[in-house]
A and B are shown apart, each in its own frame.
Chain A
Amino acid sequence: MLRGNLSFDVAHLLAGSLVLVSFMQLYQDRLYALLNIFALHALVLAASVAWQAFIQDAPHLYLTATIALVFKAIVIPAALHRIIVRLGIHREIETVVGVGPAMLLGMGLVALSMVVMLRVTADADPLAREDLAFALSVVLLGLLMMVTRRNAVSQVIGFMSLENGLVLAATGAKGMPLVVEISVAFSVLIAFIVIGIFLFRIRERFDTVDVQALDRFRGERQ
């Protein structure tokens, strides 16, 4: 029974930390800081998924944890970091809603997801239902972040933390099939988004992303 309690507590702690890190993202107004917090978010997710893999005795979940760790905590933040530097937007500060209202809204959303999920899952086992409530909070906080930011990079970070919430939900649902496939599918989606931002932002600087136009531009300078 001791192991049962311990596994429950650790899973609870990790899922709760994910919500906490989501809150930390809400009040970051510098892109670099936001990226670092997102990397932390992915790290906590990886730990949480690995813990689920351990307590559910589901080795395939380790793969999902590895994807979260390598791809989302290292590769994507590094790539976004480079994009931010190359586009020269690292000093940009932007929140549509102020920090205070955003935090209040966030708290409201967490309360909402607790009320909804805990009420409807009264019969489910406690680990699954609290995981689900946390996961919904992370999803809603991610959405909130997407609507309170204007910059494409921070919108994408919002989307990725939303997606972390989904992975948390999927791994918390014991024995759910296709979790690995789904996390791979999401990674592809995110990779596309990151490439998308790059093309999108180039457009703003050169007024076009037509590769030929870029070639012409370079040709003129030489």
Chain B
Amino acid sequence: MIDALAGVLLIPAAAAALLALLPGYRMTARLNVVATLLTLLTAASLFVVAPTSGSYLLVDDLNKVFIVLTTFVGFTTSVFSASYIGHEMESGRLTPTFARFYHAMYQTLMFAMNLALVANNIGLMWVAIELATLTTVLMVGIYRTHEALEAAWKYFILGSVGIALALFGTILVYMAARPVIGEGVAAMVWTVLITKAARFDPALLNVAFVFLLLGYGTKVGLAPLHAWLPDAHAEGPTPISAVLSGLLLNVALYALLRFKMLLALNPGAIAPGPLMVTMGLISCVFAAFMLYRRRDIKRMFAYSSIEHMGIIVFAFGMGGALANFAGLLHMTMHSLTKSAIFFAVGHIAQVKGTQKIADIGGLTVSNPVLGWGLVLGVVAIAGLPPLGIFTSEFLVISSTFAREPWLAVILVFGILVALGGLFLRLGTIAFGAPRGPTAKADASYVPMFAHLAIVFTAGIYMPPALVAGFQNVAKLLG
């Protein structure tokens, strides 16, 4: 039986196989776009007809949001990627073989992320996240430079350790579930676990969550487990930086949220919230300070991703309908804004031939569209009104002030420090006299401005249906 649920998995899988076989980057880049568009349409249809969930795959209100966000950003990134890779081919940084490999890997990554999101089995979810890690490792190292390989190696080792700890946590969850549910597949099926979670052994669940938090937290990029993230973002192709920041971090977060829901249902288990709040706050404040000393433009925005993942994890850690709503909104807005920024940064780095901030200057003069696009993106990511991130950050902070004023103060401090860091660098990048080559960018601006338009609109007006949907999911998260 082929329904939309199978579709979001089969389309990328088939496309990956096809793209691995086809030569010629122009056609394959277009095919890549077509495949991601089809996946997006299939994913959107999940809202119309809900397929039935089995013991391996499931669709519920929570993962629908994630799937649509993933496939949407996957689609726009593939449009950006087509022009980006075209430029890389012309400048000779990528050979045709690597371009073919890249496109096949892109679809494999889409497959792995969708699989992680729709998996109803915690073992399957783990395998999918491992697959996603492997494909991104391969893509980070694709330029085969000294730095790229070192970044890929670092990402690989740290990612593998994270993945290994997450597996240990998964095994412990199974051990906790087995006495209640019985042996076999049922004790790893999410929909079964959630109904019986209240009777699991709380002590075992506690230890399991610590491992899962450390394991998947590494993949979310939470400090102090974030060391792989800036390197991987800086050295890989920019479309991959956009997908890493915009999507893969979310997928790992999704896994964490699932287990948090499990723990929340068990009266004897520790509250997962404080752990997440602590790690979120540390990440936010730490990354905000790290923004000041960055010399590489992609590295800087990678640290900004750590900061925002910190805010999101903080919001989900606080819990409750309002904070969860804010976290969900912030996650969506961050994905859209950060990928838009990376679209701009990718073209900027191609025009200037460097990622060093010192060699990039006066973009609003030399390349007005690109420059102003970046300015708009940074204004959005820094959380200035009236854009979408302002709304979500405001919600996070105001809901925290009502409950834990001190935590809110620390969070506001982190956000303000980050704002300062971002604008300090933005000044030299975007304004002043142009530095470096000023050739016209051969860019596709549509994805970038489409994302920014959504973020802008969300800051002013959110459709009631969307708000209702998010509120529903926020309630699910508990």
Contact = CB atoms under 8 A, between A and B. Distances in A.
A105 to B, nearest CB: 17
Contacts of B130: 185, 189
Interface string B160-189: 110111011001101100110001110110
B160 A159 contact: yes
A177 B187 CA distance: 9
A123 B201 contact: yes
Interface in A111-165: 116-117, 119-124, 128, 132, 135-136, 139, 143, 146, 152, 155, 159, 162-163
A193 B138 CA distance: 11
Interface stretch (B119-127, B248-256, B308-316): B119-127
A21 interface: no
Interface in A49-102: none
A117 B184 CA distance: 23
Interface residues of A, number: 45
A217 interface: no
Contact of A182 (B127, B156, B157, B172): B127
Contacts of B403: none
Nearest to B123: A178
Interface residues of B, number: 41
B161 A119 contact: no
B294 interface: no
A67 to B, nearest CB: 15
A211 B267 CA distance: 58
Chain A contact residues, majority secondary structure:
helix
Contacts of B70: none
B96 to A, nearest CB: 13
B146 interface: yes
B144 A209 contact: yes
B450 interface: no
Chain B contact residues, majority secondary structure:
helix
A200 interface: yes
Given A178-B188, A182-B126, A182-B127, A139 B121 contact: no
A132 B175 contact: yes
B206 interface: yes
B207 A120 contact: yes
Contact of B149 (A169, A188, A193, A209): A209
A181 interface: yes
B168 A181 contact: no
A176 B134 contact: no
A143 B225 CA distance: 14
A65 to B, nearest CB: 18
Nearest to A122: B203
B161 A193 contact: no
A208 B134 contact: no
A199 B149 contact: yes
B153 interface: yes
A84 to B, nearest CB: 18
A210 interface: yes
A139 B179 CA distance: 24
B204 interface: yes
B156 A174 contact: no
A169 B168 contact: yes
Interface centre among A123, A124, A177, A182 (most CB of B within 10 A): A177
Interface string A4-26: 00000000000000000000000
Interface centre among B131, B144, B185, B206 (most CB of A within 10 A): B144
Nearest to B127: A185
A60 to B, nearest CB: 12
Interface string B68-81: 00000000000000
A188 B133 CA distance: 12
Interface in B178-228: 178-179, 183-185, 187-188, 201, 203-204, 206-207
Interface string A183-222: 0010011001100100110010001111100000000000
Nearest to A117: B207
Nearest to B189: A177
A110 interface: no
A178 B171 CA distance: 11
A170 B149 contact: no
Interface in B352-397: none
Contacts of B174: 173, 176
A47 interface: no
B182 to A, nearest CB: 8
B174 to A, nearest CB: 5
Contacts of B131: 185
Contacts of A159: 157, 160-161, 164
A182 B123 contact: yes
Interface of A: 116-117, 119-124, 128, 132, 135-136, 139, 143, 146, 152, 155, 159, 162-163, 166, 169-170, 173-178, 181-182, 185, 188-189, 192-193, 196, 199-200, 203, 207-211
Q: 7 smallest A-B Cβ distances: which pairs?
A: A175-B183, A120-B203, A178-B123, A177-B185, A169-B171, A210-B144, A185-B127
8 contacts: A120-B207, A121-B175, A132-B172, A159-B164, A169-B171, A177-B187, A200-B149, A208-B146
Given A163-B164, A175-B187, A203-B149, 13 more contacts: A120-B203, A120-B207, A121-B175, A122-B203, A139-B165, A159-B161, A170-B171, A177-B187, A178-B124, A178-B127, A189-B134, A192-B134, A211-B144
